[in-house]
């Protein structure tokens, strides 16, 4: 089976947000039940950002101009399913993985340890950390469950103007180019195809009617440099006890300044530990806190290889 | 809709005007996109830049309430540039008919001939045609109308056919075409752009683009909704669309038509059902005290002299037979006297009924899934009126604002003596039944789950109430029990109320051959396959003649899957999206009505790639079910000019004497307008309804200078009873807003996202300001006019999302033809909070 | 399994003990994995229905398991919507069931009212009432108001009309229900009958 992709054609999108809510319904994701619990946004866009329970979001960006007086650019904020998926590369728990048959990047939140490396690594700011019953990171799963049963992803199924199409990636790219050419001929000279080569090739191919930025997409996305580190450290992980990840966590804090809790994970015991306090955030089997703390200390950056 | 959703793909030009089809009828986006893929052009005409406008090719802003000026200009453009479809207009419309010599229009006064200032109504005598000759019905044995004199048929004097005088050269000054040409010559590009607040070049571009569909092989479609109807001249807006489409030869063709995108899931069904003061099921008129007090009078007044509606006595007698069953006989006029007779006044429609509540005339009220305390215009007045009720029954899914009107922020429950019952209704997937879409398709809904808790389907609620009422009258007697105890109510299967025997009743059946109340798995039925089989002698019963054929399989009368309504064969042999075997479209499974007009006078299709019907020289090929007499007594009928057989003329009306407020659409300003009328000497339609009510509290532009229109967003629906129940929708659209231009916001010192107060004499609401380039000020008659737009989905009721009632603001005035209120153009002022 | 199997629906049960149709089979290669136990639609029955919002008439499929709703999405065989649904249609499931953000369990929608209630004159709250009592009381009200406001003759014409009762609505109901509401009201003599078509 060849790689699959979702084609998102902004010029067909009516921003109805059927996709946004169909995702929630299929995946049993909650919205607040609190009276008037959704903050006003001053826009048609709501919520304003992704979160663990809103894994696809239609963005609205309006400016005066164009042949009709206004350019109202609708965008799709969700996982782009990179070929070079930094999140999957860095995920220490195997929660985010590449789905071999389709190339989609799927997530199993039952395996997530909440370390949030994926969030840091992602050039599109997609995986979101969420506290709750289980404190995990979540994102679009690609609806691999549906695809395996012969269905399209929920967002694609529900899209009425066929702004979302699912199929072989090659075909989606061809369709996208055809459409971009059509739009250019109709006077949308900034129309462009996005996702063909970015991050080794995305599995969400987009036709952006008003150009990349107008639709809220990232020009020339790059994985966070920290991802490279994991490649170096992986053999070490295999060789020793697997607490390399703690080093990474600390490094995020020290080296990049990304504000978050410092967590460590012991793959052997499946425990998650706060680096600052030594407290076990999430228990696995056979946890030995003292041992883990020792390992954390030993594995802080600067003590072990890396750059 | 004359056409249907899948047909939009066939259009060469699509004009969205008075609707926001992408947002409010989202599935239309699929079909419009398919048309664009085939090279169509899409025009959106709207006061603001909507999500539809973003997807369209051309966007043309229009000041709310000026559609007739826009159309009038387009008629003028089409006539001046000779872009009308000659063969079509000449033969299939009344363009050549000569009007009465007394017909006139006075531009200074802004009125047509026949106006009575005192009653604010027209006498339409001078709007009729000159008569060439007359003919009478042949009711003798073997004659075409022998049935009218048959035993069992109510006695009535058949109407006389008046053959109109015509001038096929269209030169006679009194012919409809010349009168139209003269009438609309005032609607030139400069004047229209000044009235509508449009850019003249853009206006001309829109006109040229749409008028291009006057080429015989081209078709243009109009997608409209409440933006056309909710005006004090809403019916004339609709007439305008009809005239436009006739001039361009766009009615009856694939990719054409006048397409009302209707707002409620089964509003098509409710309209068909005649759930309106003066209507019967199937677009027949309900009996009136003043016009049709007896069955004889009804048959004489309502039956057309020619065309298909010569059959009306068959439909009404069959309807009475289904209504009263055995009790309906020829001797008692089939129970006609038991039907209530509508008085001339007062008005009992929605707006008038609140006046009657205020006066203490109406004391009891049923609300079936409708929420007038929120949806009716001048809603605070509605709540005050309802506080006078003795009792109120609300059947719904959630606690609506109407169910708890006594809890409204402006109400004191202690002062309200109304007893209110809330009856929990089953959701649509908790019960089976039939629903119609805008394209007139009847479709079957299977029940998926049991109603939750104690909720009941509405048919069961109806049954328990009706049964209890009948029992009371049987037990205790009472005033005039006859209409009640003689009503046939036998829709039971195995002793339980069931929608399927009701479906038989709607479809129609041979009375003696059918038992509705059944315990048999294979009940006895003689369901009819066509309304051509209905009789006026009491031998057939039919609740809804236009549906006949949708449930006619007598081999499996209890199985919807074996009926046309339940058919799921999606084949599309023509590629035109007709899907003739998917469900059933009334009438007779006709997918595009008036389809005779898709072919020329020789029966040759205007467009060989879009064949609906075609005369081969020997017979008619019918890809769609022909909307004309294709065969008579077994012999094919060669092509003729009778393309509109539902009118007695059998030609469509460019001019219509049937309207209450004028035979041709003429521009007037909204009841509350920011500008003077530039087209004639009268500011408002001379026939506006309910303007005299004190509760209207008309506002003036000196105090309330901002024009406003109301509308829906795609994420919410109507009064929000359903959508505010869905957390994901509240998250996507958490509150209502007023959209305004950057210019107005600057003038008022309002920033995006701030709370503002919008007010007029009828009420005030607090909403969020959305400041956007998608709204622009209009230049009208050289002056700047600000317009804003508001959504209206929120109210105080509900656990998840609440807000103020925006419908407190619109005036409770109505169109003179159908009493529809004017939500789409009125005045407010806005202030920062 | 093929795309048209929903064409064989029968009124009696309309049940298929498997998952939804393979909508991709005509569009792309399917993986055709045997449904696993955690597949959302495993062992579900499907019932076709029509969306309850605008008048498009979009087809939906309701999937149920053990008599409870599991999922609603667009009917891929339906020629109008071809499987698509707008945001309102796509959340029809939530009219009955919602996800509790605290427990993340699926619960009954708490905004829906599923028991009869009555509000007595002057009261500021609802009271519970049984169906039987509600129906009996409403029937008494109807009879009282009808008998007090009924007009049999006017100016020598039989008019048989009841001025004191009004009925509003119908566009939400199925057609059979519309007929019954209409028939009940007209037979009571009610003139003030109106529905959403007017506004």
**Boundaries of every domain in chain A:** 1-30+44-222, 225-307
B458 — alpha (psi -120 to 50), left (phi > 0) or beta? Answer: alpha
Chain B residues with beta carbon closer than 8 angstroms to that of A164: none
Within this chain, do residues C90 and C161 fall inside the same structural domain, yes or no? Answer: no
By the CB < 8 Å criterion, does B202 face chain A?
no
Residues of chain A with pLDDT under 50: 231-262, 285-289, 292-293, 295-307
Within this chain, do residues B2 and B95 fall inside the same structural domain, yes or no? Answer: yes
Chain A residues with beta carbon closer than 8 angstroms to that of C27: 152, 166-167
- Counting one residue from A and one from C, how many pairs have CB atoms under 8 Å apart? 110
Select from C51, C81, C108 the last residue of a domain: C108
pLDDT band for position C22 (cuts 50, 70, 90): very low
Nearest Cβ partner of A40 from B22, B32, B734? B734
Residue B286 in domain: no
Q: Is the pLDDT of residue C19 over 70?
A: no
- Look at A267 and B322; give whichever has higher pLDDT: B322
User: Is the CB of A14 less than 8 angstroms away from the CB of B55?
Assistant: yes
Nearest-Cα distance to chain B for A211, in Å, is: 15
By the CB < 8 Å criterion, does A168 face chain C?
yes
Neighbouring chains of B at 3+ CB pairs within 8 Å?
Answer: A, C
Within this chain, do residues C13 and C47 fall inside the same structural domain, yes or no? Answer: yes
Within this chain, do residues C70 and C49 fall inside the same structural domain, yes or no? Answer: yes
Nearest-Cα distance to chain B for A305, in Å, is: 47
Within this chain, do residues C13 and C103 fall inside the same structural domain, yes or no? Answer: yes
Residue of B nearest to A162 (CA): B30
Chain B, 611 to 670: residues with Cβ < 8 Å from chain C are none
Within this chain, do residues B767 and B650 fall inside the same structural domain, yes or no? Answer: no
User: Is the CB of B479 less than 8 angstroms away from the CB of C195?
Assistant: no
Select from C108, C129, C154 the last residue of a domain: C108
Nearest-Cα distance to chain A for C73, in Å, is: 7
* Mean pLDDT, rounded, for C131-157: 98
Residues 6 or more apart whose Cβ sits within 8 Å of residue B700: B672, B827
The alpha helices in B576-671, defined as continuous H runs, are none
Q: Using an 8 Å Cβ cutoff, are B651 and B643 in contact?
A: yes
Q: In this predicted structure, what is the pLDDT of residue B696?
A: 97
* Mean pLDDT, rounded, for B709-726: 97
Quickly count helices (H) and strands (E) in chain B: 21, 35
* Mean pLDDT, rounded, for B251-277: 95
pLDDT tens-digit readout, C69-128: 999 999 999 999 999 999 999 999 999 999 999 999 999 999 999 999 999 999 999 999
What's the rounded Cα separation, in Å, for the pair B369 and B371? 7
User: Is the CB of A40 less than 8 angstroms away from the CB of B26?
Assistant: no
Nearest Cβ partner of B454 from C4, C115, C142? C115
By the CB < 8 Å criterion, does A20 face chain C?
yes
Query: Percent of chain B having pLDDT more than 70?
Result: 100
By the CB < 8 Å criterion, does B201 face chain A?
no
What's the rounded Cα separation, in Å, for the pair A237 and A91? 13
Within this chain, do residues C82 and C162 fall inside the same structural domain, yes or no? Answer: no
Select from C108, C143, C161 the last residue of a domain: C108
Q: Which of C15, C54, C73, C93 to mutate to test the interface with B (most CBs of B within 10 A)?
A: C54
Within this chain, do residues C47 and C92 fall inside the same structural domain, yes or no? Answer: yes
Query: Percent of chain C having pLDDT more than 70?
Result: 82
Residue B491 in domain: no
Residue of C nearest to A5 (CA): C28
DSSP assignment of chain A, as one string? ---EEEEEETTT-----HHHHHHHHHTT-----STT-SPP-SSS--SSS-BTTB-EEEEEEEEE-STTSEEEEEEEEE---BSS-HHHHH-SSS-EEE-TTT--EEE-TTT--S--HHHHH-TT---EEE-SSS-EEE---TTHHHHHTTPPPHHHHH-TTS-EEEEEHHHHHHHHHHHHHHHHHTT-TT-EEESSSGGG-BSEEEEETT-TTTTTPPSS----THHHHHHHHHHHHHHS-S-HHHHHHHHIIIII---S--EEEETTTTEEEETTT--EEE--TT--HHHHHHHHHHTSBTTBS--
Within this chain, do residues B647 and B762 fall inside the same structural domain, yes or no? Answer: no
Within this chain, do residues C137 and C80 fall inside the same structural domain, yes or no? Answer: no
pLDDT tens-digit readout, B513-528: 999 999 999 999 999 9
| Residue B538: how many other CB atoms lie within 10 Å | 20
Residue-number span of the structural domain to which B698 is assigned: 694-832
Whether domain A1-30+44-222 has CATH 3.30.1300.10: the reply is no
Q: In this predicted structure, what is the pLDDT of residue C9?
A: 32
| Chain C residues in contact with chain A using a Cβ-Cβ cutoff of 8 Å | 19-20, 22-25, 27-33, 35, 39-41, 71-74, 76, 81, 83-87, 89-91, 93-94, 98-104, 106, 110
DSSP assignment of B721-773, as one string? TTGGG-HHHHHHS-S-EEEE-HHHHHHHT--TT-EEEEEETTEEEEEEEEE-T
The total domain count for chain B is: 3
By the CB < 8 Å criterion, does B577 face chain C?
yes
| CATH number of the domain enclosing C72 | 2.20.25.90
Nearest-Cα distance to chain B for A119, in Å, is: 24
ipTM metric: 0.97
Nearest-Cα distance to chain B for A208, in Å, is: 13
Residue B652 in domain: yes
Within this chain, do residues C133 and C163 fall inside the same structural domain, yes or no? Answer: yes
The total domain count for chain C is: 2
Within this chain, do residues C88 and C175 fall inside the same structural domain, yes or no? Answer: no
Within this chain, do residues B661 and B702 fall inside the same structural domain, yes or no? Answer: no
pLDDT tens-digit readout, B117-130: 999 999 999 999 99
Residue of B nearest to C49 (CA): B445
Residue B218 in domain: yes
* Mean pLDDT, rounded, for C44-54: 96
| CATH number of the domain enclosing B20 | 3.40.228.10
Residue B524 in domain: no
Residue B576 in domain: no
pLDDT tens-digit readout, B223-233: 999 999 999 99
Chain B residues with beta carbon closer than 8 angstroms to that of C113: 396-399, 422, 424
User: Is the CB of A21 less than 8 angstroms away from the CB of B732?
Assistant: yes
User: Is the CB of B752 less than 8 angstroms away from the CB of A42?
Assistant: yes
Residue B676 in domain: no
Chain B residues with beta carbon closer than 8 angstroms to that of A21: 728-729, 732
Q: Which of C41, C70, C78, C170 to mutate to test the interface with B (most CBs of B within 10 A)?
A: C170
Q: In this predicted structure, what is the pLDDT of residue C38?
A: 83
Nearest Cβ partner of A33 from C19, C29, C98? C98
User: Is the CB of B51 less than 8 angstroms away from the CB of A16?
Assistant: yes
Q: Among the listed ranges A209-223, A240-254, B64-78, B88-102, which one has the minimum average pLDDT value?
A: A240-254
Q: In this predicted structure, what is the pLDDT of residue C10?
A: 29
Within this chain, do residues C171 and C93 fall inside the same structural domain, yes or no? Answer: no
Q: How far is CA B833 from CA B380, B749, B758, B768, B769, in A?
A: 22, 11, 10, 10, 11
Nearest-Cα distance to chain B for A129, in Å, is: 19
Neighbouring chains of C at 3+ CB pairs within 8 Å?
Answer: A, B
User: Is the CB of B448 less than 8 angstroms away from the CB of C175?
Assistant: no
CA–chain centroid gap for B456, Å, is 29
Nearest Cβ partner of A162 from B33, B52, B773? B33
Q: In this predicted structure, what is the pLDDT of residue A225?
A: 74
By the CB < 8 Å criterion, does A281 face chain C?
no
Within this chain, do residues B112 and B259 fall inside the same structural domain, yes or no? Answer: yes
| CATH number of the domain enclosing B468 | 3.40.50.740
Q: Is the pLDDT of residue B719 over 60?
A: yes
User: Is the CB of A44 less than 8 angstroms away from the CB of B802?
Assistant: no
Residue-number span of the structural domain to which C76 is assigned: 3-108
Within this chain, do residues C20 and C71 fall inside the same structural domain, yes or no? Answer: yes
Residue B589 in domain: no
């Amino acid at each position: 089976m060849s790689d699959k992709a979702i084609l998102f054609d902004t010029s067909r999108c009516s921003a109805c947000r059927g996709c946004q809510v169909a995702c929630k319904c299929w995946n049993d994701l909650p919205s607040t039940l609190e009276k008037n619990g959704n903050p006003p946004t001053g826009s048609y866009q709501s919520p304003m950002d992704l979160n663990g329970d809103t894994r696809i979001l239609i963005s609205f960006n309006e400016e005066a101009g164009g042949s009709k007086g206004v350019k109202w650019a609708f965008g799709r904020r969700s996982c782009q399913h990179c070929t070079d998926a930094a999140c999957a590369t860095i995920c220490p728990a195997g929660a985010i993985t590449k789905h071999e048959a389709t190339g989609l990047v799927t997530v199993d939140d039952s395996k997530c340890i909440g370390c949030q490396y994926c969030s840091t690594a992602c050039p599109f700011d997609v995986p979101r950390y969420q506290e709750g019953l289980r404190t995990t990171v979540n994102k679009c799963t690609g609806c691999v469950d549906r695809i395996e049963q012969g269905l399209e992803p929920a967002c694609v199924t529900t899209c009425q103007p066929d702004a979302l199409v699912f199929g072989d990636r090659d075909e989606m790219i061809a369709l996208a180019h055809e459409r971009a050419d059509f739009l250019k001929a109709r006077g949308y000279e900034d129309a462009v195809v996005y996702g063909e080569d970015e991050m080794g090739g995305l599995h969400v191919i987009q036709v952006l009617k008003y150009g990349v930025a107008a639709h809220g997409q990232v020009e020339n996305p790059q994985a966070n440099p920290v991802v490279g580190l994991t490649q170096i450290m992986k053999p070490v992980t295999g060789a020793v006890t697997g607490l390399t990840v703690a080093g990474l966590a600390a490094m995020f804090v020290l080296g990049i300044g990304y504000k978050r809790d410092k967590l460590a994970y012991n793959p052997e015991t499946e425990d998650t530990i706060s680096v600052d306090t030594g407290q076990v955030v999430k228990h696995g089997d056979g946890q030995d806190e003292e041992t883990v703390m020792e390992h954390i200390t030993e594995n802080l950056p600067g003590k072990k290889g890396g750059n | 809709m004359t056409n249907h959703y899948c047909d939009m793909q066939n259009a060469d030009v699509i004009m969205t005007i008075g609707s926001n089809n992408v947002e409010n009828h989202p599935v239309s986006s699929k079909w419009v996109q398919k048309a664009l893929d085939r090279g169509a052009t899409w025009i959106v005409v709207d006061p603001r830049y909507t999500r539809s406008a973003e997807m369209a090719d051309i966007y043309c802003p229009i000041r709310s309430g000026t559609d007739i000026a826009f159309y009038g200009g387009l008629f003028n453009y089409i006539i001046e540039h000779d872009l009308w479809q000659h063969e079509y207009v000449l033969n299939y419309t009344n363009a050549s008919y000569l009007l009465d010599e007394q017909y006139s229009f006075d531009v200074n006064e802004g009125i047509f001939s026949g106006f009575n200032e005192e009653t604010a109504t027209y006498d339409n005598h001078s709007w009729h045609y000159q008569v060439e000759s007359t003919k009478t019905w042949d009711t003798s044995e073997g004659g075409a109308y022998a049935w009218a004199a048959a035993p069992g048929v109510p006695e009535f004097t058949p109407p006389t056919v008046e053959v109109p005088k015509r001038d096929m050269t269209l030169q006679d000054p009194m012919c409809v075409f010349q009168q139209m040409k003269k009438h609309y010559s005032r609607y030139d590009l400069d004047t229209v752009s000044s009235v509508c607040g449009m850019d003249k070049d853009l206006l001309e571009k829109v006109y040229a683009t749409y008028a291009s569909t006057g080429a015989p092989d081209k078709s243009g479609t109009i997608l409209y909704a409440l933006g056309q109807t909710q005006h004090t001249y809403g019916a004339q807006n609709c007439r305008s669309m009809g005239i436009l489409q006739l001039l361009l030869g766009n009615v009856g063709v694939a990719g054409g038509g006048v397409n009302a995108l209707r707002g409620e899931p089964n509003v098509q069904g409710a309209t068909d059902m005649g759930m309106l003061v003066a209507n019967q099921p199937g677009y027949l008129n309900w009996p009136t005290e003043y016009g049709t007090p007896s069955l004889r009078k009804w048959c004489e007044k309502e039956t057309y002299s020619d065309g298909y509606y010569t059959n009306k006595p068959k439909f009404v007698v069959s309807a009475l037979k289904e209504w009263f069953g055995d009790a309906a006989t020829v001797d008692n006029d089939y129970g006609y006297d038991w039907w209530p007779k509508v008085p001339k006044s007062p008005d009992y429609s929605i707006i008038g009924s609140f006046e009657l509540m205020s006066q203490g005339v109406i004391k009891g009220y049923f609300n079936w899934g409708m929420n007038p305390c929120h949806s009716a215009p001048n809603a605070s007045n509605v709540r005050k009126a309802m506080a006078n009720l003795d009792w109120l029954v609300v059947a719904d899914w959630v606690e609506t604002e109407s169910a708890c009107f006594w809890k409204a922020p402006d109400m004191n429950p202690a002062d309200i003596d109304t007893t209110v019952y809330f009856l929990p209704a089953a959701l649509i997937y908790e019960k089976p039944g039939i629903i119609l879409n805008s394209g007139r398709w009847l479709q079957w809904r299977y029940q998926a789950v049991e109603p939750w808790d104690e909720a009941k389907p509405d048919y069961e609620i109806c049954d328990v109430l009706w049964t209890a009422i009948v029992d009371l009258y049987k037990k205790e007697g009472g005033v005039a029990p006859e209409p009640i105890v003689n009503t046939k109510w036998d829709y039971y299967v195995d002793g339980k109320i069931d929608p399927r025997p009701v479906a038989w009743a709607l479809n129609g059946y041979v009375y003696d051959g059918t038992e509705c109340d059944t315990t048999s798995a294979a009940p006895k039925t003689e369901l009819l396959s066509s309304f051509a089989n209905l009789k006026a002698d009491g031998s057939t019963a039919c609740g809804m003649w236009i549906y006949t054929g949708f449930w006619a399989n007598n081999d499996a009368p209890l199985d919807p899957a074996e009926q046309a309504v339940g058919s799921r064969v999606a084949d599309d042999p023509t590629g035109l999206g007709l899907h003739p075997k998917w469900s059933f479209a009334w009438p007779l499974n006709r997918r595009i009505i008036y389809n005779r007009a898709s072919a020329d006078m020789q029966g040759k299709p205007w467009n060989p790639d879009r064949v609906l019907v075609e005369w081969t020289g020997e017979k008619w090929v019918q890809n769609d079910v022909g909307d004309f007499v294709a065969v008579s007594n077994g012999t094919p009928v060669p092509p003729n000019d009778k393309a509109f057989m539902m009118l007695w003329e059998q030609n469509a009306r460019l001019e219509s004497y049937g309207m209450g407020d004028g035979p041709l659409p003429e521009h007037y300003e909204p009841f509350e307008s920011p500008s003077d009328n530039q087209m004639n000497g009268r500011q408002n339609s001379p026939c506006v309804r309910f303007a005299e009510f004190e509760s209207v509290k008309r506002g003036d532009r000196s105090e309330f200078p901002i024009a406003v229109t109301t509308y829906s967003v795609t994420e919410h629906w109507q009064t929000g009873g359903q959508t505010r129940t869905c957390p994901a929708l509240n998250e996507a659209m958490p509150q209502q807003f007023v959209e305004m231009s950057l210019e107005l916001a600057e003038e008022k010192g309002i920033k995006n996202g701030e709370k503002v107060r919008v007010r007029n004499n009828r009420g005030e609401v607090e909403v969020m300001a959305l400041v956007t380039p998608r709204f622009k000020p209009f230049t009208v008659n050289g002056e700047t006019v600000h317009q804003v737009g508001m959504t209206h989905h929120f109210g105080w009721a509900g656990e998840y999302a609440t807000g103020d009632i925006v419908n407190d603001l619109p005036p409770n005035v109505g169109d003179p033809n159908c009493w529809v209120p004017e939500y789409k153009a009125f005045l407010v002022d806005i202030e920062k909070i | 399994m093929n795309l048209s199997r929903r064409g064989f629906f029968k009124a009696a049960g309309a049940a298929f003990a498997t998952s939804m149709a393979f909508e991709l089979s005509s569009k792309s290669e399917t993986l055709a994995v045997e449904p696993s136990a955690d597949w959302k639609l495993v062992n579900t029955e499907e019932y076709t229905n029509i969306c309850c919002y605008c008048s498009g008439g979009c087809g939906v499929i309701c999937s149920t398991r053990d008599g409870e709703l599991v999922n609603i999405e667009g009917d891929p065989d339906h020629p109008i919507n071809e499987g698509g649904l707008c945001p309102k249609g796509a959340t029809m499931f939530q009219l009955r069931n919602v996800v509790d953000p605290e427990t993340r369990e699926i619960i009954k929608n708490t905004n829906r009212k599923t028991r009869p209630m009555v509000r007595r004159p002057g009261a500021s709250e609802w009271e519970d009432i049984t169906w039987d009592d509600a129906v009996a009381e409403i029937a008494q009200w109807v009879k009282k108001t009808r008998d007090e406001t009924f007009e049999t003759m006017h100016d020598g014409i039989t008019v048989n009309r009841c001025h004191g009762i009004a009925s509003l609505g119908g566009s939400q109901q199925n057609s059979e229900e519309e007929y019954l509401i209409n028939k009940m009201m007209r037979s009571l003599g009610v003139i003030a009958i109106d529905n959403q078509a007017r506004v």
